[in-house]
């Protein structure tokens, strides 16, 4: 079986969203998920919401047509959402990411992403790779936040 870029991205998105799930589960309590202290400006909960919002906006709403409407400001201002609700949101995102990637063919990756996201048009391929690295970046922040505050 040929391993395509879409297959590879799917494996990475699934791996890292499962890691996000593990990180959220590992917080000792709901309060700690939402704690900010000193120079820590974003809680693990807000970073989780931001990742879910980002992936749903640029991948799931566009390719799986899941009807997601982003409210970016709430990704950083919402507080106190329970761990179980965050986990449900992650699980739904995993399903919708997989549905989205199933709709794409490798030839689609070279096409322009249909919306302007950055200062100039990019390909679908570029955006999917960017979103993958964005997920990994914030996943590391969540891991660090959790380890600092669970201590």
Q: How far apart are CA 138 and CA 70, in angstroms?
A: 18
What is residue 18's predicted lDDT score, i.e. its pLDDT?
98
Q: What is the pTM of this model?
A: 0.95
pLDDT tens readout for residues 64-83: 999 999 999 999 999 999 99
Q: Is 130 exposed, middle or buried (0-12, 13-18, 19+ CB in 10 A)?
A: middle
DSSP per-residue letters across 132-146: HHHHHHHHHHHHHHH
- Going from N- to C-terminal start, the domains of the chain cover 5-150
Q: How far apart are CA 97 and CA 99, in angstroms?
A: 5
Is the pLDDT confidence value at 127 over 70?
yes
Any idea which residue has 């990742």 for tokens?
51
What is residue 2's predicted lDDT score, i.e. its pLDDT?
63
What is residue 1's predicted lDDT score, i.e. its pLDDT?
47
How far, in whole angstroms, is CA 14 from its chain's centroid? 10
Listed residue (46, 21, 44, 20) closest to 33, CA to CA: 44
Considering the four listed CATH numbers 1.10.260.40, 1.20.120.450, 1.10.620.20, 3.40.50.1110, the one that applies to the domain covering 5-150 is 1.20.120.450
Residue 150: pLDDT band with limits 50, 70, 90:
confident
Residue 37: pLDDT band with limits 50, 70, 90:
confident
């Amino acid at each position: 079986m040929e391993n395509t870029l879409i297959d590879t991205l799917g494996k990475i998105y699934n791996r890292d969203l499962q890691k996000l799930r593990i990180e959220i589960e590992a917080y000792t309590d709901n309060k700690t998920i939402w704690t900010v202290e000193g120079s820590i400006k974003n809680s693990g909960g807000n970073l989780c919401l931001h990742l879910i919002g980002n992936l749903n906006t640029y991948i799931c709403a566009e390719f799986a047509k899941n009807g997601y409407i982003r409210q970016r400001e709430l990704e950083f201002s919402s507080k106190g959402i329970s761990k179980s609700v965050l986990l449900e949101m992650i699980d739904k995102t995993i399903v919708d990411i997989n549905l989205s990637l199933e709709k794409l063919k490798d030839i689609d990756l070279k096409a322009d992403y249909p919306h302007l996201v950055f200062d100039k048009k990019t390909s679908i391929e570029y955006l999917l790779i960017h979103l993958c690295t964005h997920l990994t970046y914030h996943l590391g922040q969540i891991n660090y936040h959790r380890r600092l505050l669970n201590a």
